[in-house]
Chain A
Amino acid sequence: DAEITQSPRHKITETGRQVTLACHQTWNHNNMFWYRQDLGHGLRLIHYSYGVQDTNKGEVSDGYSVSRSNTEDLPLTLESAASSQTSVYFCASSLGTGELFFGEGSRLTVL
Chain B
Amino acid sequence: GESVGLHLPTLSVQEGDNSIINCAYSNSASDYFIWYKQESGKGPQFIIDIRSNMDKRQGQRVTVLLNKTVKHLSLQIAATQPGDSAVYFCAEINAGGTSYGKLTFGQGTILTVHP
A residues near B (Cβ < 8 Å) are 31, 33, 35, 39-45, 48, 50, 58, 90, 92, 94, 96-105
Cβ contact within 8 Å between A94 and B6: no
Residues of B within 8 A of A101 (CB): 46
Q: Give how many B residues have a beta carbon under 8 Å from the other chain's beta carbons.
A: 27
Tell me which of B54-62, B67-75, B87-95 binds A.
B87-95
Q: Can you offer 22 A-B residue contacts whose CB atoms are under 8 A?
A: A31-B101, A33-B101, A39-B6, A40-B5, A40-B107, A42-B105, A42-B107, A43-B44, A48-B102, A50-B101, A90-B43, A90-B44, A94-B101, A96-B100, A96-B101, A98-B32, A98-B49, A98-B101, A99-B34, A101-B46, A102-B45, A104-B42
Most chain B Cβ neighbours within 10 Å, of A97, A98, A99: A98
For A96, the chain B residues whose CB sits under 8 A away are 100-101
Tell me the dominant secondary structure on chain B's binding face: loop
B101 & A48 in contact (Cβ 8 Å cutoff)? yes
B102:A33 contact, CB within 8 angstroms: yes
Query: What is the number of contacts between chain A and chain B, taking CB atoms within 8 Å?
Result: 66
Interface set of B (CB-CB < 8 Å, partner A): 4-8, 32-34, 41-46, 49, 89, 91, 93, 95, 100-103, 105-108
Q: Find out whether the CB atom of A104 lies under 8 angstroms from the CB atom of B43.
A: yes
Cα–Cα, bound, A33→B104 (Å): 12
Assuming A50-B101, A104-B43, A105-B42, is B6 touching A98 (CB within 8 A)?
Answer: no
Min C-beta distance of A94 to chain B, whole Å:
5
Contact B43 A97 (CB under 8 A): no
Q: Which residue of A lies closest to B95 (CB)?
A: A98
Nearest CB of chain A from residue B38's CB, rounded to whole Å? 8
Contacts of B4 in A (CB 8 A): 40
- List the 5 shortest-distance A-B pairs measured between CB atoms, nearest first: A102-B43, A43-B105, A40-B6, A31-B101, A42-B107
Q: Are B34 and A43 within 8 A (Cβ)? A: no
**Chain A hits for B5, CB < 8 A:** 40
Contact in complex: B100, A100 (CB < 8 Å): no
